[in-house]
Amino acid sequence: MSDQPSTLPGIVSERMTARTGIARTAVVVVGIVLAALVTNLMATLAATSAVGSNVGETIPFATVVVASELAFLLVGVTYLWFQSSFHMPVRPPTWQSIPYLVGGLVAGLVTAFLQFAITDAVVPAIELSPGFTEYSNLGQVSGSGLVVGVALSLALIGPVEEFLFRGVIQGRILEALGPVGAVGIASAVFALFHVYPVALLAPPPIVVVHMAAYYTVMGVIFGWVYHRTNTLVAPAIVHGTFNAVLFASPLLG
């Protein structure tokens, strides 16, 4: 009983510090998200104005993708510039990481298959909304655009998006909330950036909800790979390879 008076202030201090850390993290993450939204939107609009909005053509498609990803890269690098002490593990995956790489890729492909099956078969059948490809623009890319999509997925999309959403955002949240909260929130942010361009087209609400669920699950998969392997290279490989398979699949048909 004699220790109670001395330990109680310490407990209160720890709780206040934890709350302060969570609040600070929330402010930082919201700032990153807003900066990424503005930068990404401006870069996409600038690219569209320069080359046109027909993503079915290779040059407009590649230009818009590169502009969008460079916007993400700029925001992430700016954060690291201000937070030089922020730790982001970047090293080659070990042999022990291979099951997580394979498992993450398989989980992603299964999720994508279910997504296409539901949206392109079940959902239109009950007349709730058009199919997934109508809003995702995947159906518009063809020919050389698909080849470019494969290359961009491996060299730019996977590495850059994992750098921002897993390395920066998930890593920052991890400091305050632990792995479950970090993976969950970062996945929701990941979904936001993939859904908001679709939401601007004013689709039926079911489309927004369904796509948000899909991209959140994909974010959880990539976030799980990052957490289990403790290197940003692993989710970058899984994400890039996953996207590359989606772009390459029409070429194999």
Quote the CA–CA distance of 25 and 22 in Å, as a whole number. Answer: 5
Q: Give just the sign of the alpha carbon dihedral 170, 238, 156, 187.
A: negative
Looking at residue 36, its pLDDT comes to 97
Residues counted in the chain:
253
Count CB neighbours of 194 within 10 A: 17
Residue 38 has a pLDDT of: 97
Please state the pTM of the whole predicted model.
0.87
- What tens digit of pLDDT does each residue of 115-142 get? 877 766 655 554 444 444 554 555 567 7
- The closest of 171, 9, 17 to 80, measured between CA atoms, is 171
pLDDT of residue 188: 98
pLDDT < 70: residue spans in the chain? 1-19, 55-56, 119-140, 253
C-alpha separations of 33 from 40, 98, 102, 150, 239 in Å: 10, 31, 30, 27, 20
- Res 164: pLDDT: 98
Predicted confidence at residue 128, as pLDDT, reads 47
Integer Rg of the chain from CA: 20
CA nearest to 103, candidates 214, 230, 226: 226
pLDDT in tens, 17-34: 566 788 899 999 999 999
As a whole number of angstroms, the longest Cα–Cα distance in the chain is 77
Q: What is the pLDDT of residue 122?
A: 58
Where exactly are the structural domains of the chain? 4-252
pLDDT computed for residue 13 by the predictor: 52
pLDDT at 202: 78
pLDDT at residue 135 in the model: 47
